[in-house]
């Protein structure tokens, strides 16, 4: 379980960072069409969603009485359905400002490192009690890490679509 999720962390962030690195600083902050996020806002959203996991994992937890990966298929079904448009909750909506590409990259590297460290530090089968995603039961640490990765994969596609649109213009 631990080795597989660590490999998934590395691969997911490698792919996301590869697309991010394809943007110039200027391209990153271009609004592709009214109401859409810039590439930078998409990256900042991923950072907002994936930040704070170590604190969540170190918070209140309990022994899990179900399979520790029980919710992953449902998370994938929802977040990897690219035909479904979703609205981010207010607390993870990125500001419409110009972001610095290097700062975004450093934040992503920090998150990747924190997630890899969490795999070594925490019992991935414990259930986190301090926060839950609406519509789901409380996640295990393993499910939280996978939620972050699945969510990042969704936005990897979005970031790639934004780059294709910008470089076509």
Architecture of the domain delimited by 2-168: Up-down Bundle (1.20)
pLDDT tens string 24-61: 999 999 998 888 999 999 999 999 999 999 999 999 99
- Is the pLDDT at 169 greater than 70, yes or no? no
Model-level pTM greater than 0.75? yes
pLDDT tens string 47-103: 999 999 999 999 999 999 999 999 999 999 999 999 998 899 899 999 999 999 999
* 92 closest CA partner among 16, 41, 17: 41
Band (156; pLDDT cuts 50, 70, 90): very high
Tell me the CA distances in angstroms from 58 to 37, 141, 151, one per residue in order.
Answer: 32, 10, 22
């Amino acid at each position: 379980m631990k080795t597989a999720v660590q490999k998934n962390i590395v691969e997911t962030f490698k792919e996301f960072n590869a697309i991010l690195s394809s943007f110039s600083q200027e391209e990153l902050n271009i609004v592709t069409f009214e109401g859409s996020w810039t590439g930078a806002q998409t990256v900042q959203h991923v950072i907002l969603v994936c930040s704070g996991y170590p604190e969540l994992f170190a918070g209140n937890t309990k022994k899990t009485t179900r399979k520790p990966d029980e919710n992953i298929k449902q998370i994938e079904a929802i977040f990897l359905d690219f035909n479904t448009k979703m609205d981010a909750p207010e607390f993870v909506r990125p500001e419409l400002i110009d972001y610095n590409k290097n700062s975004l990259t450093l934040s992503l590297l920090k998150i990747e490192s924190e997630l890899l460290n969490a795999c070594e530090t925490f019992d991935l089968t414990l259930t986190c009690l301090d926060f839950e995603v609406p519509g789901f039961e409380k996640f295990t640490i393993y499910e939280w890490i996978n939620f972050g990765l699945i969510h990042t994969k969704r936005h990897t596609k979005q970031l790639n679509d934004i780059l294709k649109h910008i470089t076509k213009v």
